[in-house]
Amino acid sequence: MAEKTLKNEEELRSRLTPEQYHVTQESGTERAFTGKYWKTKDPGTYLCVCCSQPLFNSETKFDSGTGWPSFWRPAEQGQVAEHTDVSYGVSRTEVRCSSCGAHLGHVFEDGPAPTGLRYCINSAALDLKPRDKK
């Protein structure tokens, strides 16, 4: 498990866009098919926009047809934390950055092999670090 990184509200508001702040700090959701990374195919590592912890690798990204970036597993075990979310009268599994607690999205059990999972993540919670070209 990663060491907790806590950021104060003022610092986050000054560094993040209003949408990034709303998604990561207020458990918001960006509209489908509008996020920066929903159709990106560039190779690299997706980092937490708040603390830069590596969260997902481009190798596990797939087109789920939902309009949000989707991955079939996190970059490493323990990089994301899962919590039960009962908002809107539905029980879902919320996904947060294990380092700073930023809301990322939700995970569902309708993804591809080998995990059968679909981590449905808001682009606003991510920052893509491109892989160095060789």
The DSSP code for 114 is T
Tell me if residue 94 falls in helix, strand or coil. strand
Q: Tell whether 90 is covered by a domain.
A: yes
pTM (2 decimals)?
0.90
Beta-strand pair 118-121/70-71 = antiparallel
Instruction: Please list the pLDDT of the chain residue by residue as tens digits (134 residues).
Output: 444 555 688 899 999 999 999 999 999 999 999 999 999 999 999 999 999 999 999 999 999 999 999 999 999 999 999 999 887 788 889 999 999 999 999 999 999 999 999 999 999 999 999 987 65
Looking up residue 42, the CATH number of its domain turns out to be: 2.170.150.20
Q: Tell whether 4 is covered by a domain.
A: no
Q: Give the closest residue to 68 by CA, choosing from 42, 98, 30.
A: 30
Q: Tell whether 2 is covered by a domain.
A: no
Q: Tell whether 101 is covered by a domain.
A: yes
Domain range enclosing 67: 9-130
Q: Tell whether 58 is covered by a domain.
A: yes
In this structure, the number of other CB atoms found within 10 A of the CB of residue 100 comes to 20
Specify the pLDDT at position 74.
Answer: 97
| 120 is annotated as an active-site residue | yes
Number of domains the chain contains: 1
Q: Tell whether 3 is covered by a domain.
A: no
Q: Tell whether 123 is covered by a domain.
A: yes
